[in-house]
Structure 1
Amino acid sequence: MAEAPLCGLQDEFTCLLCLDTLTDPVTIPCGHNFCLKCLTDCWDQSQECSCSQCRHTFTTKPELNRNTLLSEVIKKCKRPRLSSPPPQSYASFEDVECDFCTGEKFRAVKSCLTCPASYCQTHLQPHYEVATLKHHKLVDPDRNLKEKLCEKHQKSLEIFCKTDDSCICLMCGVTEHNGHKMVELEMEREEKQKQLGATLSNIKRGLEEREKTLKETRRVMEEMKVSGLGRQNFI
């Protein structure tokens, strides 16, 4: 995110004492603004109360009250703003198209498993801004969303039923799979990946052992061959 400039009013929002943006700004009777701490420290160290900008001297020390309106204006001008969204491009043959574009379609940047649909950058924005959409499950663009939906309920497959060894949706979990042993699909996927990793490690270890045995067998055969030739030459 980039910080917005101070609305083109940097000089008006700068304290003449610290030469930085006003903090807890106070406005004195002559109309000029200073940081509360800067002006308090300055007047505490001086024998007279005067404005450092117009040099006006006050016979009695003015009461310093925080300028709430000015403080809010500075806050709004300093508020970070979102960077401009990246330029969109039309979907090519290998891209996933946005389901909500009319006419020539933009390239989808996310697919929603909850909706289910694919969205370009513009049509995806409500998923980041609307409260009811923020909890939807977004994934990388996927042209095969139907394969990730329950055929019966048309809901996203989020649960793995260990009893039936199948992927199911939440609706299935409370109906025909009620009472079965179930886990989240992501947990089952991680477990399967660990098992696959262990299997591959065992296979690799077995291949290495076989390779080692084969090399040893070749070495022994080569020694026997050399030994046999030596005896023939001796005879």
Structure 2
Amino acid sequence: MAEAQLCGLQDEFTCSECLGTLTDPVTIPCGHSFCLKCLTDCWDQSQECSCPQCRHTFTTRPELNRNTLLNEVIKKLKKTTLSSPPAPPSQNYACPGDVECDFCTGKKFRAVKSCLTCMASYCQIHLQPHYEGDALKHHKLVDPDRNLKEKLCEKHQKSLEIFCKTDDLCICMMCVVTGHKNHEMVELETEREDKEKQLGATLSDIKRGLEEREKTLKETRRTMEEMKVRGELSKRGEPNQK
């Protein structure tokens, strides 16, 4: 029973840096765990010490000590895995056509959400800080989007949040104060909903027009058939039948 539970928790013991099972696991003050080597390499290559998963920054570099309890649990997990039938290939890796996680290193996981505030895409593992941290939980998450750069203002590199009706243009908050003062503006989402309503009304008008044309065409064909029949009857000298 315990072994089965460990197998089910295998993803919980995955290092978000190498995406493999934790080796010599270390847990840092923010609560996240990594392979000792992965975290050491990450910090050695950076000018600041921050958690690769939640981005929490430490003023001084924390001392890294192996999490003995977690290491023992992982040993049991590996032993159970070796004695169990081979698991099917992971379904989380990004395939051609998928949106990749921007924070995975090496072989990338499939993104499950894109953040319009961070302008980045996240796999399930790297998305967790958006649900757990107060600083990120108000960010706007959408389905994975590979065209996030198109949603950035070319001038200020900020997300496009406002629609300027005066200039018929999507703009960022910096544009509002620098070049669109006193213009008529609405939130981008509001404008999108209005455009969808207008498009729906236009499509309904087109559909009614097509139905009217189809009706007129059928009546024209019926009239032409009647005229053809009458013409043939006249040639035969037979009285026309109404």
TM-score under structure 1 normalisation?
Answer: 0.61
Q: Residue in 2 aligned with 1:115?
A: 118
Q: Is the 8 A contact 1:158 1:170 kept in 2?
A: yes
| Identity in percent | 79
Partner of 2:106: 103
Query: Is 2:227 aligned against 1:215?
Result: no
Shift of 1:95: 1.0
Residue from 144, 148, 153 that aligns with 2:147: 144
| CA-based RMSD | 1.4
SS in structure 2 at match of 1:91: coil
- Is the Cα contact below 8 Å between 1:160 and 1:185 reproduced in 2? yes
Structure 2 length as normaliser, TM-score? Answer: 0.59
- 3-state DSSP of counterpart to 2:114: strand
| Matching of residues 159-198 of structure 1 within 5 Å | 159-198=162-201
Contact 1:157 1:169 in 2 (8 A): yes
Matched, 1:200 2:206: no
* Aligned partner letter, 1:99: D
Partner of 1:233: 236
Q: CA deviation at 1:88?
A: 6.4
- Please give the secondary structure, in 1, of the residue aligned with 2:106: coil
CA distance in 2: counterparts of 1:229 and 1:122, whole angstroms: 80
Deviation, structure 1 residue 165: 0.2
Residues 1:153 and 2:135 aligned together: no
Unaligned runs of 5+ in 2: 1-89
Task: Supply the distance in 2 between the matched residues of 1:98 and 1:179 (Cα, whole angstroms).
Answer: 40
Off by >3 Å, runs of 4+ in structure 1: none
Is the partner of 2:163 in helix, strand or coil? strand
Aligned length in residues:
149
User: In 2 relative to 1, CA 88–218 (structure 1 residues): closer, same or farther, beyond 3 Å?
Assistant: closer
Could you report, residue by residue, the CA deviation over 1:61-93 in whole angstroms, capped at 9, with x for unpaired residues? xxxxxxxxxxxxxxxxxxxxxxxxxx8611111
Please, which runs of 5 or more residues in structure 1 have no aligned partner?
1-86
**Separation in 2, partners of 1:207, 1:96:** 39
CA contact (8 A) 1:159 1:185 kept: yes
Q: For the residues of structure 2 that align with 1:159 and 1:123, how far apart are their CA atoms?
A: 29
